Chain A
Amino acid sequence: MFKKFSSEDVSSQNQVKASVQRKIRQSIADEYPGLEPVLDDLLPKKSPLIVAKCQNHLNLVLVNNVPLFFNVRDGPYMPTLRLLHQYPNIMKKLQVDRGAIKFVLAGANIMCPGLTSPGGVLDDDVAEESPVAIMAEGKQHALAIGFTKMSAKDIRAINKGIGVDNMHYLNDGLWKMERLD
């Protein structure tokens, strides 16, 4: 999604109304309860929350010009990788084997066998259509943010095709956009 993303894909940037700001905060808090204690630091009530609307119904949530979350249409908010790296335990995790790393970093979606092989790890609590952190065999930090197409159990049972859509990965356009000025 962010493969060729750049500031040119941002069509508008607006400070949102207080009511919208509250709604965004609430949905982030609901999706990531682990973030709640630091939510006031991340999205200070006093700093304006900016929503940047981009191509393909994509929205970025920014504070002080730093992208922190994104979502598509009305879908769930997902953290940027830099934010996830700081708070790695806010999302459920799936792990790909080492062989899959280079494909994920090229933007490929995550295929089931990369998760079910000996180097992969599946958390059976992960449901279908939910945001997940994509970890990698032998690595400490997440390399992508995914959105599951099947539940972890189905990934294991079906074991072919795309298991998780690759939403955002290291070195994609969003990663490179540390700030949006």
Chain B
Amino acid sequence: MAEKPQPVRVLYCQVCSLPAEYCEFGSDFEKCKPWLIQNAPDLYPDLLKEADSKEADKVAQQLQSTALSSGSADGSAPSGGASASKQEEVKRLPGGKIKRKEKQEVVIEKIVRNKRKCITTVKGLELFGIKLSDASKKLGKKFATGASVVKGPTEKEQIDVQGDIAYDIVEFITETWPDVPETAIFFIEDGRKVAAA
């Protein structure tokens, strides 16, 4: 008797349903990009570079706007000098062990699958000394839904919450964990990082 072959698990894109490696040939590659950066970064290394350079641009922009301390010309970038200095403050929080220079921020992203169903991922709470298992329980309870701690694509743990709770979640986080300032919470929208505040 031949040996039983194990089924191969293919990474399907939750945006366009194709195997992730074929997203570039799908009907709307742009829409897949945020999901791919999160879930299949090694398939599209260029995307990551793209995102990184965008990020770098943003930082540069931020530095510039603090230096000049004039109103930013671009209204869509709500990154004033105030938020930058606040982030400096929260660096000295209890817990002590600051791993390298990881930016202390919470990143929230809504991931759509099958058109209607979606999950909201929350990353970075642990950077504020919050226990993820606790946080996951609280989130599940608050939004009456399933929430779990999972290993993200970069091997870092994140919380996946069933359903679209992206907009209520900010208030909940800042109320439940006062150590997390609203200015440190970001959304990923269309592959771009947007401040929640």
Is A22 in contact with chain B by the CB < 8 A criterion?
A: no
A36-B2, A170-B18 known; A88 vs B25 contact (CB < 8 Å): no
- Interface positions of B (Cβ within 8 A of A): 1-5, 7-10, 16-19, 21-22, 25-27
Instruction: Determine whether the beta carbon of A37 is less than 8 Å from that of B25.
Output: no
Please give, as numbers and ranges, the residues of chain A lying within 8 Å of B4 by CB-CB distance.
37-38
The range of chain A's interface size is 20 to 34
**Binary interface profile of A, 16-41, with partner B (CB < 8 Å = 1, else 0)?**
00000000000000000010111000
- B26 lies within 8 A of A87 (CB): no
A residues less than 8 Å from B5 (CB atoms): 34, 37-38, 87, 89
Q: Contact between A139 and B17 (Cβ–Cβ < 8 Å)?
A: no
Indicate whether A105 sits within 8 Å of B17 (C-beta atoms), given known contacts A38-B5, A86-B8.
Answer: no
The contact of B17 among A38, A88, A101, A175, by CB within 8 Å, is A175
Q: Are B22 and A85 in contact (CB under 8 A)?
A: no
Which residues of chain B are within 8 angstroms of A34 by Cβ–Cβ distance? 2, 5
A interface residues, Cβ below 8 angstroms from B: 34, 36-38, 85-89, 101-102, 105, 139-141, 143, 170-171, 175-176
Q: Known pairs A139-B19, A171-B27. 9 more at Cβ < 8 A?
A: A36-B2, A37-B5, A86-B9, A86-B10, A87-B7, A105-B22, A143-B22, A171-B26, A176-B17
Closest to A175 in B: B17
Nearest-CB distance from B39 to chain A (Å)? 16
Q: When chains A and B are docked, how far (Å) is the Cα of A139 from the Cα of B7? A: 18
Q: A101 to chain B: which residues have CB within 8 Å? A: 22, 25
Q: List 27 A-B contacts (CB under 8 A).
A: A34-B2, A37-B2, A37-B3, A37-B4, A38-B4, A38-B5, A85-B8, A85-B10, A85-B19, A86-B7, A86-B8, A87-B5, A87-B7, A88-B8, A101-B22, A101-B25, A105-B22, A140-B21, A141-B19, A141-B21, A141-B22, A170-B18, A171-B16, A171-B17, A171-B18, A171-B27, A176-B17
Residues of B within 8 A of A170 (CB): 18-19, 22
Chain A nearest CB from B45 CB (Å) reads: 13
- Nearest-neighbor residue (CB-CB) of A90 within chain B: B5
Distance in angstroms between the alpha carbons of A143 and B8 in the assembled complex: 15
Shortest CB-to-CB span from A108 to chain B, Å, is: 13
